């Protein structure tokens, strides 16, 4: 069941978004793209999952917003940044985003990231993004995601190999 946000982290996201983008909470977890899609009643591709990386040599905060149906090509991200990247640990995620893993939104972050948006999201009419907790989300269009975040749209999804 979907209800208006009440958790402090979700309310912080709601305050940053304003009334145009209601934040919704679910009784069930929306921590994974599959969980979120099942709770919302949309496709896994419509889930805009937030993945936190850090650059290896400089420690920069990189947030990748990708379609829930796609795996991120870390080499493609590294090529864009001209620096290798690695997955961020829970402490780095909380320190840089202000949120726990599983609920990181693309907005209302504690520090400004390098923000990359999976170009596959741009083909969708509606997407759903995390809103501060493992069971909170908000609905928006891909263009609104770009407007809200200032993120760079890029080809960052891993593509299947030709033999697949």
| Intervals of the chain under pLDDT 70 | 160-164
**pTM for the whole structure:** 0.93
Strand partners, 29: none
The pLDDT assigned to 164 comes to: 45
For residue 84, give Cα distances in angstroms to 60, 61, 62, 137. Answer: 11, 12, 11, 30
Architecture category of domain 2-154 in CATH: Alpha-Beta Complex (3.90)
The pLDDT assigned to 31 comes to: 75
Please, which residues have CB within 8 angstroms of residue 120's CB and are 6 or more apart in sequence? 45, 66, 67, 69, 70, 157
Q: What pLDDT, in 10s, does the model give residues 109-137?
A: 999 999 999 999 999 999 999 999 999 99
The pLDDT assigned to 162 comes to: 54
């Amino acid at each position: 069941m979907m209800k208006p946000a009440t958790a402090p982290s979700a309310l912080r996201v709601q305050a940053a978004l304003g009334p145009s983008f209601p934040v919704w909470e679910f009784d069930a977890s929306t921590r994974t793209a599959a969980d979120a899609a099942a709770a919302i009643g949309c496709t896994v591709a419509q889930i805009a999952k937030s993945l936190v990386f850090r650059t290896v040599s400089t420690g920069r905060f990189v947030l990748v917003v990708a379609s829930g149906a796609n795996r991120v090509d870390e080499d493609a991200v590294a090529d864009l940044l001209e620096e290798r990247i690695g997955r961020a640990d829970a402490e780095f995620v909380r320190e840089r985003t202000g949120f726990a893993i599983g609920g990181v939104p693309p907005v209302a972050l504690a520090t400004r990231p390098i923000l990359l948006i999976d170009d596959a999201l741009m083909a969708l009419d509606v997407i759903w993004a995390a809103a501060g907790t493992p069971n909170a989300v908000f609905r928006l269009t891909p263009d609104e995601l770009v407007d809200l975040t200032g993120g760079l749209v890029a080809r960052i999804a891993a593509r299947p190999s030709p033999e697949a």
